[in-house]
Structure 1
Amino acid sequence: MIGTVISSIGVGFAAWVGFCGLATWRKQNKGTADHDLARRLLMDLYRLRDCIGHIRNPVMLGEEGGMPDNEPEDLNFLHRCYRSTARAYQSRFAPIEEVRARLNTAILESEAVWGTELKARFALIFSLQHELWICVNSYLITINPDESEERVDFYQKIMSERETVLHERPSDWNDEFRNELNAALSLVEDYLRQKLIR
């Protein structure tokens, strides 16, 4: 009888220890998964920030636009400059597609695990990136020698509304676009840093 009671207590204690161990393991496993997801998101957030900075860099070297083999030789200077600038911006935007694909996948995963708050915080960054894309395309229209004067005027007006979007300003100047982007980046960073294991 006493052996049965002691055995029952031993079994109960072993079950309790096992349950506590399982709960600790689950908590640790969730913390590790959250940490990994937050780290991946932060890395791609910083890559996106750097890509946007590269696009906004006002210095565009001649070889950046390249000269394709199939370029007609009878193009005048304005047409060559336009095509070179368009190719340069195309190559500057190319890495964003890869980063955005990874970010979109990770944000979807975070939505399943953490809810929609992170997706909402990223929306402003994506909106600013889209604004930059619109501004670059507007600029390319304004320098295209084949565009009509009315269309060029229309797109110059669009660009004048947000003059600081296209080119980054020196760090000691007020850069409204950079300030907005940094504020949006901070919102995402603050959220993700809470998910990292210290």
Structure 2
Amino acid sequence: MAITDADWSLTKDVFTIVGTLVSAAGVGLAFYVGLAGLATWRKQLRGTAHHELARKALVELYRFRESVERARSPVMMRAEMDLDPQEDVDLSSRERGYLRHYAGYQRRFETVFAARAPIEATLLESEALWDKELHELFEPLFKLQHELKNYVEFWFMASDPREDDAYKAAHWDAIKDKPNLRYDNMSEEGDEFRQKFNRCVTAIEQYLKPKLA
């Protein structure tokens, strides 16, 4: 079949138009695939951020729980009760025993606050992803820890053999009607304080664990 110059020119124009349309479609498809990939990447990135923050918060929660449980243990090791040589001067046996136990509790609460410090930083970070939801869940836990510290401080002030009876009585009156928080009863279910503490821990776990998926 003979193709005239006019036919050939028209054919080239058709191919040019088709080629342009195919190229445009290819660019559009590539753009769509790129957007879809970017959305997937962003979703994966958000998921990773949620996962890592939830994992970190859980580990810090368990360390904090362990430190509080240790602070309430009725068993105190000798190394926990060591006194500074400058403190252990001209003391009666009663005063020495009191100060040794007080030093032991000081060391235990230093461990509690050391375990709490990274949680405070994590809670600030969590506001960017979860607003203040996690912070609100930790508040009852921190309140219990504060109650424990206050009770122990008042108990030691009420028991200080170096103070007069009026001073000790005033501090004893502040805690005499409260449960003894110094020691856990070490039963399987725990005393009321441990039960409250563990309920707070469970509420935080229920909030964080789904974010690990």
TM-based fold match above 0.5: yes
Q: What is the CA distance between 1:138 and its match in structure 2?
A: 1.2
Q: What is the CA distance between 1:164 and its match in structure 2?
A: 4.1
Mapped to 2, the partners of 1:189 and 1:158 lie a distance apart of 34
Matches within 5 A, 1:79-94: 79-94=95-110
1:72–1:92 distance in 2 versus 1, CA, 3 Å: closer
C-alpha root-mean-square deviation of aligned residues, in Å? 1.5
How many positions carry a matched residue from both structures?
197
Mapped to 2, the partners of 1:174 and 1:72 lie a distance apart of 36
- Give the structure 1 partner of residue 12 of structure 2: none
Q: What is the CA distance between 1:72 and its match in structure 2?
A: 4.1
- What is the percentage of aligned positions where both structures have the same residue? 38
**1:10 paired to 2:21:** no
- Give the structure 2 partner of residue 56 of structure 1: 72
**1:159 paired to 2:161:** no
Is the Cα–Cα contact under 8 Å of residues 184 and 190 in structure 2 kept in the other structure?
no
Mapped to 1, the partners of 2:27 and 2:86 lie a distance apart of 80
Q: What is the CA distance between 1:70 and its match in structure 2?
A: 1.4
Q: What is the CA distance between 1:154 and its match in structure 2?
A: 3.1
- Normalization by structure 2: what TM-score? 0.87
- Give the structure 1 partner of residue 195 of structure 2: 179
Matches within 5 A, 1:9-158: 9-158=25-174
Structure 1 segments unaligned to the other structure (5+ residues): none
Q: What is the CA distance between 1:173 and its match in structure 2?
A: 6.0
Q: What is the CA distance between 1:16 and its match in structure 2?
A: 0.7
Q: What is the CA distance between 1:174 and its match in structure 2?
A: 5.4
1:173–1:6 distance in 2 versus 1, CA, 3 Å: closer
Moved more, 147-156 or 75-84: 147-156
Is the Cα–Cα contact under 8 Å of residues 164 and 175 in structure 1 kept in the other structure?
no
Q: What is the CA distance between 1:193 and its match in structure 2?
A: 0.8
Is the Cα–Cα contact under 8 Å of residues 164 and 177 in structure 1 kept in the other structure?
no
**What SS is found at the alignment partner of 2:212?**
coil
Q: What is the CA distance between 1:142 and its match in structure 2?
A: 2.0
**What SS is found at the alignment partner of 2:137?**
helix
Moved more, 61-70 or 117-126: 61-70
Runs of 4+ in 1 over 6 A off after TM superposition: none
Deviations 1:122-151 (A, max 9, x none): 000000000010011012112211223233
- Whose radius of gyration is greater, 1 or 2? 2
